Amino acid sequence: MSDLSQLAKQLQEQVDVLTSYLAKEKLPPPTFLPDENTLKPSIAKLPPDVEKARVKAQSLSWNINQLLTAPVDCLLWLSMEVHLMIKLPLIQFYEPVCLRVVIDNKIGQMIPIDSPGVPISELAQKSKLPESKLIHIIRHLAAMNIFREPTPRTFAHTAMSSLLARPEFSNAVDLISHFIDEGYKSSAYFPEALELYGEQFDKVQKSDLRTAFNLAFRTDMHYFDYIYTPENIPKYGERFGRSMMGGAREEIMEATLSPYDFSVFKEGDVIVDVGGGIGHMGAAVAKRVKPGVKIIVQDRPSVVEQGKGVHGHIVELQPHDFFEPQPIKGAKVYYLRLILHDWPDEVCRTILRNIIPAMNSESKLWIMDSVWQNDEFWVNGKNDKEIIDSYTAWRQHQGIRILHMMSKLGTSSRISLTKGAKERTEAEWRDLFSSVGLKLTNIYSRDGLHAIIEAVKE
């Protein structure tokens, strides 16, 4: 049995570790209100011991919250998506709906960050939305600390909502829009897709792959083909490119790249970013290598044109479809970042076989992706203590990420009890490489979630 008083005491101990560190370093405490630290809060980058305390405090507060709610109410309220748990708003039910209305209609930008409040009548007039509907949408978000209502029918920003009004956060807003539009719609059809297509996920090539996305958007086209049709590029394709920049924040790129020693590259070396979008990771790599190391970013023609306006002064952008043979021969490194996790094994083999002939004896292949945890990682529930101790944001991220990718792209994992593999364990990466004549030689990673998985030709 769980002793609430003991759990509360443990929570206080972990909070004390965090607050003591912030006080010692003269760093501002977390706040719900927007301020100069909103974009780079002091808790975003902590020493390992303090970060451990922060995560433990999250776990304890999450579990205390559930223990203070009757089990039947947890189930009933979750089905109606009352916000009981510590999760991002973009993975709830009505929260994504309300958030999408606010983002699509630029409500956040209508409220100055330092404003004491803007009347709902003014927001309705500017957005051309019915005031009687809009007020309930914003109030629902305010219950999640996204906006606040300091006086009746007047709304101001919180730290979270203020991000919607900050130009420097616009790419992250695009990422949120990607989740609550394509992702959210597709997730509604996931049960039907699993019943119809689950057994074929890892048995077919791209042209025959069907997913929840196909049901939601009423198309036989693969997700990436659909968003890059001429009529869909402005709404979906360009937003996806920007959203990948939003998902590649500085701390994430640092976590991926920092374990590797980039000083080994010399002038004249070529690094090819295959399927590199508009070049955000290529630009990050360029900052870490010596002058004279050439970075080539390849993607669809429309994506390349978009990228030239963002990173064209840092990297070379080249049109290329990774389902066709790789045109650059003998590069020092070919890398695919968050590409192979989009595809089942059979399609991954096709992608890799288009790169391998271009590699020489000194070429390396990098897969910038996750090294998934083994089944033992997921064991949980022997007793209350194990349930509480086993909570991690990493575990939640893995579960959410795999379900999102399954709904949108049809790839799956053995962990999800459907056939195939998307997110792969070290053993699964080795097997995939071996099946096409590659050998895994190293994994550079801090945490497994962000890794450089290195392979060479056997």
Two structure tokens written together for 15:
């909070």
Give the separation between CA 269 and CA 265, rounded to whole angstroms: 6
Measured from the Cβ of residue 430, the count of other Cβ atoms closer than 10 Å reads 16
Two structure tokens written together for 2:
């769980």
Give the separation between CA 373 and CA 401, rounded to whole angstroms: 14
| Catalytic annotation, residues | 341
Give the separation between CA 362 and CA 355, rounded to whole angstroms: 14
Two structure tokens written together for 85:
């748990």
Measured from the Cβ of residue 73, the count of other Cβ atoms closer than 10 Å reads 11
Measured from the Cβ of residue 266, the count of other Cβ atoms closer than 10 Å reads 11
- List of residues 6+ apart from 206 with CB closer than 8 A: 222, 323, 343, 347, 350
Determine the straight-line distance between the first and last CA of the chain, rounded to whole angstroms.
54
What is the dihedral sign for C-alpha 40, 46, 50, 53? positive
- Residue 50 CA, chain-centre distance (Å), reads 24
